[in-house]
Structure 1
Amino acid sequence: MSFQEIKDREATYVMQTYGRFPVCFDHGEGAVLVDVDGKEYVDLTSGIGVNCLGYHNPKVTAAVTEQANKLMHVSNLYYTEPMIDAAEKLVKATGMSRVFFGNSGAEANEGMIKIARKYSHDKYGEGRSKIVTLVNSFHGRTITTLKATGQEHFHHDFFPFTEGFDYAEANDLEDLKKKAGKDTCGVMMELIQGESGVRPLDADYVKAACEFCRENDILFMVDEVQTGIGRSGALFSFQKFGVKPDVVSMAKGLGGGLPIGAVMVGEKCADVLGKGDHGSTFGGSPMSCAAACAVLDEVTKPEFLEEVEKKGEYLKESILAIGSPEITDVRGMGLMLGIVLKNPENRLKIVGELLNQGVMVLTAGEDVIRLLPPLVITREEMDRAVAVMKKVFGS
């Protein structure tokens, strides 16, 4: 089937909620994708941070295939070993206490919000339910996580939104203290704000915010949906920042390509949710958890994470070495990078030309080209992508 035929069928049968790029992919290997016409692309997106071990990864494929031949779904009314294995791997790698599995990042963040409100209600009663997030944050697309998102342009069309949220300026401890008053049960933040422009928070601010929450028995919650599973050069970015949250959400890279989300809690919150308080029909799927186990076996290796850091630094320096006046900065951590443009009005043209020449990138904020390549990307693949960038930025 031709690309045009595929495009026409999509327009007929699929809701038009995405402005798709004019490409249909057929298969991939490592960090390279191939479209239906046989053209190759170096992927610096990994499905928006999902395919952390690249395409056709033999260990993930083997784990999923083996599980598919045994059991794909049975529900959480019964025990399944892959779910328990994945939870054990996460707990042992982080020193946290327990895990709840769902299907997505938004669902994981909804779980964090429920945990914070129930923890506070159980201990203090009513009137202490507010969640404070950060300006320029992004926490999901559900009604509640849209309201938790600290970007006003997302707050439209779907009124009324869930109540009980406020927003503090990032890296401003006094503003956080002002917003997180006696009515507050939780503070939720991304330690690297991804969607708004790949903005790492100040480490001293993060530590002070965590300590403030401890002193006031406010749950300190970290959204690791995009930053987790090795993306920052640590299994979770909170480990790079030297803090230990009460609650952590994750998704994207955890399943290596299969849909999965999770909420992980520390000792304080280990027993907040009891039987019947929360659920997810597809959560803890044996298939997704088998994939997660294969992913975690790789990304928890110290040498793997060290290599992610080295690759991130190499890619950053290679892009800066292009020397284009259009590139004012490359910021981020590990293999989560943002190219800051001098002239944001040129961004879509640059992204389109990169795609035409075989390099896939993302955008973020108003002036950033976002890079989330597979963590297994090779230096040769990075060099290939940078060579194309040099031509595009130099043209």
Structure 2
Amino acid sequence: MSDSYTRATFDEVMVPNYNPSEILPERGEGSRVWDQNGNEYVDFAGGIAVSILGHNHPGMVKALKDQADKIWHLSNVFTNKPALELADKLTEATFADKVFFANSGGEANEAAFKLARRYAHDNFGPEKSEILSFSKSFHGRTLFTVCVGGQPKYTEGFEPLPGGILHTEYNNIEAFKELISDKTCAVVMEPIQGEGGIIPADPEFVKQVRELCDKHNALLVFDEVQTGFGRTGDLYAYMGMGVTPDILTTAKSMGGGFPIGAMLTTTKIAASLVPGTHGSTYGGNPLGCAVSLAVLDAINTPEMMTAVKEKSAKIQSGLEAIGEKYGVFSGVRGKGMLLGAVLSDEWKGKARKFLEAGWANGVMCLVAGADVVRFAPAATITEADIEEGLARFDKAISELVS
């Protein structure tokens, strides 16, 4: 073995399901990251909408170190104080009465979909089992969640697939009306489609979906894995939409970089998950919950939510100016610290090139499909880092179009 690892080492020892950059980040501070060669980057990517408080946040570091000196793991044979405190604060802050902890967004969604079917079975019978989702959606990488997601490229080659899952067009209420029925046990939607291209739900569409769910006794499940924990300028996006789900899933920013996820729901619905029906060995572990508590305390303040909205407006206007200057974007959409720059017709299908140009000029961003460049910076990003990141991105685009 060598003491020096490079991108080539990945090809030697890792399963090839990822295609990572040549960059090997070694440390971070706030919204800046340094790689193995000492190169510095402004982080507009946030670990794919995870690092809501940036890197090396002192509150998170302290919470982890303090808990590490106490107890790390217990399993679900026992409960623990950090888990109870986090669940208590989440239920106090949201519509929910009950919480189930997991390790990721995919696990949280798996729990939500199982609960929806179990609840329908208990209350209406086995024939009420259909799950209705939307094209371009993304809900995880387990076989069940990837099938609920509306992107066939993620299910190819994994057949036979779980059945009883239907898809319709996002933001198209007439198409939705044609599919929902008394056989529908749950409707699953993202308030803003993330992997599908940073596509916000139309408020009137969401309102009518809620009404039709009630009419057909179907549960409304909001996947807030990417939009939750303050990323949109509300603790959860549903709070700014005037619609309340029956089940909500959360992860990513919830741990600020530490793996944790959760499913939130009401007492009535939660009653269907009796002992033995579902579980997670690591879900609700003291380390993860202690870190998430620190994130929640830092993010869930009026001042922080106002800052998210103000900084979002600055980033969005900066991206719009770049798009107009170089003719590369047809628009910028999204909310809070989850924005997507939609490529103009000339540049469609080339989002990866923008990613690579950013890396070469010291700024990290993301893609959301082949036609959208995604930005998911920390809520704590400074004005100086916003300006520097936009300047570096501007330089990257100037080189790309030349």
| TM bucket, shorter chain | over 0.9
Structure 2 CA distance, aligned partners of 1:76 and 1:5? 37
Alignment of 1:298 with 2:291, yes or no, is no
Partner amino acid, structure 2, of 1:249: T
Partner amino acid, structure 1, of 2:335: M
Secondary structure of the corresponding residue to residue 99 of structure 2: strand
Match of 1:328 in 2: 330
Instruction: State which of 372, 379, 383 in structure 2 corresponds to 1:379.
Output: 383
Structure 2 CA distance, aligned partners of 1:13 and 1:153? 25
Alignment of 1:355 with 2:359, yes or no, is yes
Secondary structure of the corresponding residue to residue 159 of structure 1: coil
**CA deviation after TM superposition for structure 1 residue 272, in Å:** 2.0
Partner amino acid, structure 2, of 1:92: E
Structure 1 CA distance, aligned partners of 2:226 and 2:349? 26
Partner amino acid, structure 1, of 2:230: G
Secondary structure of the corresponding residue to residue 96 of structure 1: coil
> 162-171 vs 7-16, which deviates more?
7-16
**CA deviation after TM superposition for structure 1 residue 33, in Å:** 0.5
**CA deviation after TM superposition for structure 1 residue 9, in Å:** 2.7
Structure 2 CA distance, aligned partners of 1:212 and 1:42? 44
Residues 133 and 167 of structure 2 are in contact (CA less than 8 Å); yes or no, is this contact kept in structure 1? Answer: yes
Partner amino acid, structure 1, of 2:363: V
Residues 132 and 166 of structure 2 are in contact (CA less than 8 Å); yes or no, is this contact kept in structure 1? Answer: yes
Structure 1 CA distance, aligned partners of 2:145 and 2:79? 30
**CA deviation after TM superposition for structure 1 residue 345, in Å:** 4.2
Residues 331 and 339 of structure 1 are in contact (CA less than 8 Å); yes or no, is this contact kept in structure 2? Answer: yes
- Taking structure 1 as the reference length, the TM-score comes to 0.97
Partner amino acid, structure 1, of 2:168: A
Q: Please list, as runs of the form range in 1=range in 2, the aligned pairs for 1:187-266 lying within 5 A after superposition.
A: 187-266=187-266
- Taking structure 2 as the reference length, the TM-score comes to 0.95
**CA deviation after TM superposition for structure 1 residue 152, in Å:** 1.9
Alignment of 1:24 with 2:31, yes or no, is no
Residues 196 and 366 of structure 1 are in contact (CA less than 8 Å); yes or no, is this contact kept in structure 2? Answer: no
**CA deviation after TM superposition for structure 1 residue 123, in Å:** 0.8
Gaps (5+ residues) in structure 2?
A: none
Structure 1 CA distance, aligned partners of 2:283 and 2:121? 25
Residues 51 and 256 of structure 1 are in contact (CA less than 8 Å); yes or no, is this contact kept in structure 2? Answer: yes
Secondary structure of the corresponding residue to residue 60 of structure 2: helix
Q: Give the direction of change, closer, same or farther, for the CA distance of 1:3–1:145 in structure 2 (3 Å limit).
A: farther
**CA deviation after TM superposition for structure 1 residue 299, in Å:** 1.3
Secondary structure of the corresponding residue to residue 321 of structure 1: helix
Structure 1 CA distance, aligned partners of 2:146 and 2:98? 26
| Deviation string, structure 1 residues 339-364 (Cα, Å, up to 9, x no partner) | 11111244322221110110001101
Q: Give the direction of change, closer, same or farther, for the CA distance of 1:39–1:3 in structure 2 (3 Å limit).
A: farther
> 176-185 vs 299-308, which deviates more?
176-185
Structure 2 CA distance, aligned partners of 1:220 and 1:177? 15
Percent identity, aligned pairs only, is: 38
Instruction: State which of 338, 341, 356 in structure 1 corresponds to 2:340.
Output: 338
Structure 1 CA distance, aligned partners of 2:270 and 2:97? 6
Secondary structure of the corresponding residue to residue 253 of structure 1: helix
| Deviation string, structure 1 residues 268-316 (Cα, Å, up to 9, x no partner) | 3132211111100000010000001000001110110111011111100
Structure 1 CA distance, aligned partners of 2:353 and 2:370? 14
**CA deviation after TM superposition for structure 1 residue 49, in Å:** 1.1
Residues 251 and 261 of structure 1 are in contact (CA less than 8 Å); yes or no, is this contact kept in structure 2? Answer: yes
| Deviation string, structure 1 residues 138-165 (Cα, Å, up to 9, x no partner) | 1111111111011122220111111110
Gaps (5+ residues) in structure 1?
A: none
| Deviation string, structure 1 residues 318-369 (Cα, Å, up to 9, x no partner) | 1112332112111100010001111124432222111011000110123100
Secondary structure of the corresponding residue to residue 264 of structure 1: strand
Residues 133 and 166 of structure 1 are in contact (CA less than 8 Å); yes or no, is this contact kept in structure 2? Answer: yes
Structure 2 CA distance, aligned partners of 1:247 and 1:311? 30
Structure 2 CA distance, aligned partners of 1:170 and 1:10? 37
